[in-house]
Amino acid sequence: MNIINKRLISALLLTPLVLSLVLMPIKPKKASAAPTVTITSPTEGQSISGTNFTAAGTATPNTTVVLSSGGVGFAQTISDGSGNWSVATSLPAGNISLTAKAIENPEYGYFTSTTDFESFSINQLRLSDNAINPGGGWPISGVPNNIIIPSTLSNIFYSANPFGGTTIAGQVDTSAVTFNNATGAYPSATTGKGDFSADGSLYFSANRDATNNVSVINTATNAWQQDIAIGDGTVGVNTVNRSPDNKLYASVDSKIYVIDPALLSVAEVLDVPCSSPSTIFSKDANYPYYFITCTSENNVYKLLRSNNSTVATIDIGTPNTTGAITLDNKKLYVSGIIGFGQENKLHIIDNDTNTVKTPINLTGGILTLNITPDSQKIFVATPNLGPTPTQNIDVVDVQSDTVVSNIATNDVPLMVAYNGAEATTASAQVGFVLGASAASTATQKLAETGAIGISSILLIGIIIAITSYLYLDYRAHKKPLRAEDPNVKYTFLHHIRVVSMPRLKYRVAVTFSISKRTTYK
């Protein structure tokens, strides 16, 4: 085993949370035009009995289509080569607002790599064919940090280095192919994974030394702005992750400090089920849950966002650090820690049932993983640390949960990231009624089928026919009376009362009598 592999294992055992460099989907520039998407079924205003239905439509060929209702993704698929897509699914009964969103990746992703764990390179990865550094000034060499965290702004990343040494957060500008350390009164520290404010204007750096603070950097100037005190000053900050409601979750030991980005102060302190946690959030603001990975035990915890209570404890069989959720919120992918026997397995959790599926075997131990913005692929840094080391990035297909490609790199790959701000999207929406409320009354059913219109015409016709018959009968009776007396007062209503109604009663009585005699004959 060479010195690189020894240093890697040592660093990972000393700082297990390195794997929680959960690179929130980063993506670079998108060269192609924005995708298109339509919904052809259900149609606007349609009512469907039951709660099962098939959504269908068109989109740019081979594009991810995510279905959501109430702001929460619940299904995803990929349009075929002709651009058609369909999903058989179900929702609770009621008035449904269905949104279909088509998502295409940017042109490039990026990954960091190293030969000596002293300096690092940032490489460009073309996502269409997995070509590394296809031209134009890449890689960025001599970078002191090895994690790049994507901003909500195009072209901007920040970097961190949990392996040790004195490093500070630095800004990566992928458009100019440059890296610069933050300036100002930034405290020297070993930095963990940080995250950005929702608008990308601030970066919150996790300082992992005993100073116990999160440094705030202004991304426009790449300058330190202030520090936010975290914890009791004895344990460093592991990671910082942004929630869908734009709070920053800083993990320290067995607590999470929730930072309000507007006030730049701690708004809440949460007790969590395990030590050295890292949070994993859905991209949907209305998804009710979030997850906590644990380096200290084999469990992944599912928590309710509204009150931070634990709703599920999921044993994946190994301590764990980093993960990613699919856009439809159906699956969570989690990696174990190198040195615990399951480092080459990518674990899958079914988020609906909170059960563990069969893991995916990879070519090496997982350092980091990150799902592409379109949720079709997961790029996993998997350097093989065995007797014959190889340097790999495994590509996992999300639909089939299989390794579909293996990218050989020249040195140790540490992570792959994409700038999600550069993904291109399009959306379509329809409103329809599903389940019991779709047929709440017989009148509504008739209206939906057009029967009310037909019934109304028939009813009006019958009324006209009866009225016409009665009027003609009235004229026939009045004619001889007028012949006797031209001034006779014989009204239409009088005729109905003294002639039509008695005649109707007589005929009904006779008909009933005959029917009765026939029945008992």
Q: State pLDDT tens for residues 399-437.
A: 999 999 999 998 889 889 999 999 999 999 999 999 854
The residue behind tokens 């195009």 is 154
* pLDDT, tens digit (0-9, with 9 covering 90-100), for 276-286: 778 999 999 99
Answer yes or no: are the C-beta atoms of 247 and 267 closer than 8 Å: yes
* Segment 108-122 mean pLDDT: 89
Q: How far apart are CA 335 and CA 333, in angstroms?
A: 7
In the chain, list all ranges with CATH 2.40.128.630. Answer: 33-103+280-410+423-440
Residue 194 confidence (pLDDT) above 60: yes
The pTM for the full model equals 0.78
How far, CA to CA in Å, does 149 sit from each of 19, 172, 219?
Answer: 13, 9, 13
- Considering 35-39, 47-51, 452-456, 504-508, the range whose residues carry the highest mean pLDDT is 35-39
250-262 tens-digit pLDDT: 998 889 999 999 9
Q: What's the average model confidence in pLDDT over 450-460?
A: 65
The phi, psi pair for 451, rounded to 5°, reads -70, -30
Check whether 60 has a pLDDT greater than 80: yes
Instruction: Return the pLDDT at 475.
Output: 74
The CATH number of the structural domain formed by 33-103+280-410+423-440 is 2.40.128.630
| pLDDT tens per residue, range 126-175 | 999 999 999 888 999 988 888 899 999 999 999 988 776 677 899 999 99
Rounded mean pLDDT of 13-21? 37
241 token code pair: 């992750």
pLDDT the model gives residue 18: 39
Give the pLDDT score at 516.
56
Q: Detail the DSSP E strand segments found in 387-473.
A: 392-397, 402-408, 412-417, 424-434
In 105-168, DSSP assigns E strands to: 108-114, 120-126, 131-132, 140-143, 147-150, 156-160
pLDDT at 440: 45
Residue 10 in this model has a pLDDT that exceeds 50? no
Q: Given its phi and psi angles, is residue 235 left (phi above 0), alpha (psi -120 to 50 degrees) or beta?
A: beta
CA atoms of 48 and 42, how far apart (whole Å): 9
Residue 450's pLDDT is what? 53
Dihedral (Cα; 355, 356, 358, 362), 10-degree rounding: 150
Mean pLDDT in the chain?
84
Burial 373-394 (b: 16+ CB within 10 A, else e): bbbbbbbbbbbbbeeebebbbb
**CA distance readout (Å), 153 to 28, 157, 174, 220:** 10, 9, 11, 11
**172 vs 184: CA distance, rounded Å:** 17
> At 396, is the pLDDT very low, low, confident or very high (cuts 50, 70, 90)?
very high
- Here the tokens at position 158 are 């920040």
Six token digits for residue 445: 């059913």
Q: Are 362 and 384 in contact (CB under 8 A)?
A: no
Banded pLDDT at 70 (limits 50, 70, 90)? very high
DSSP per residue, 32-84:
SPPP-EEEEESPTT-EESSSEEEEEEEESTT-EEEEEETTEEEEEEE--TTSE
In total, the chain counts a number of residues equal to 521
**What does the angle CA 146 – CA 344 – CA 413 come to, to the nearest 5 degrees?**
25
- Cα–Cα nearest to 60, from 31, 45, 75, 80: 80
Q: How far is CA 42 from the centre of its chain?
A: 21
User: Residue 109's closest CA among 425, 422, 423, 417?
Assistant: 417
Token pair recorded at residue 254 = 């067995």
How much is the pLDDT for 365? Answer: 83
> What phi and psi values does residue 35 have, to the nearest 5 degrees?
-70, 170
Q: Return the pLDDT at 366.
A: 84
